[in-house]
Amino acid sequence: MCGITGIISRNNKYHDLLGTLMTRIAHRGPDNQGQWSNGRVSFGHLRLKIIDLSERAAQPMICPVTGNILVFNGEIYNYKEIRAELESVYPFRSDSDTEVILAAFSHWGISFFQKLRGMFAFGLYDATQQKVLLARDRLGIKPLYYRQNNDGFLFSSEIKGLINLPDLPQSPNLQKVFAFLAYRHLDTDTETFFTEIQLRRRRTPGWMKTAYHRRPSPTGKFRSPEHVFLRKRTKKPSWKP
């Protein structure tokens, strides 16, 4: 179990919160902590070492080919098979499944998501397109929560990383609380116990959330994320478990 968190904003006060977000979920990664920021996008990672125990697998991880940045929580079950396809075109520096995600995105672009088999949640900064891709495994095993307003977008592995922050109030989602107490409904949709905090969708094959920070909107405010579907949703998804 690792922890990931990130901020997309043109307002420095939000990026100053990265340390707070990481402290809130520090229990998820007792072995190491890492941060990366370019002033518009900030990533934090709390690491629990499992596959590659060396510092070469530390995160946030930077792709030597594209300069893309990745924070990743989970496990890619078929990472060795994907790596075997890429070893002739990508200079691997570690034995981690984290780097396989970077290499796959570098080589195949966004369609790489269709190749992944595992449980995961990650944030990937595309340095060329200057956008952030957020993804969660198809069954929703690994958590990924987010909140947004006109000034920024924040995500975290746990809700506690996104509440009780300066100038970011939250209010109870009473309908969701009632659904849990009355029917034990939990994680059945994107809503949480807080109206301002959402759970990244699951059960939709290839669904990603893209949060742009490159160009301001006509109002000068932060652009709201767009939903990007890699495939059309059907009754019988074509992906394999």
Gap between the Cα atoms of 153 and 164, Å rounded:
15
Catalytic residue check, 2? yes
Q: Which residues have a Cβ under 8 Å from the Cβ of 127 and sit 6 or more positions away?
A: 66, 67, 68, 69
Choose, from 2, 4, 71, 144, the residue flagged as catalytic: 2
CA nearest to 203, candidates 139, 152, 160: 139
Gap between the Cα atoms of 156 and 31, Å rounded:
18
Which residues are bridge partners to 227 per DSSP?
209
CB 35 within 8 A of CB 42: yes
Q: Which residues are catalytic?
A: 2
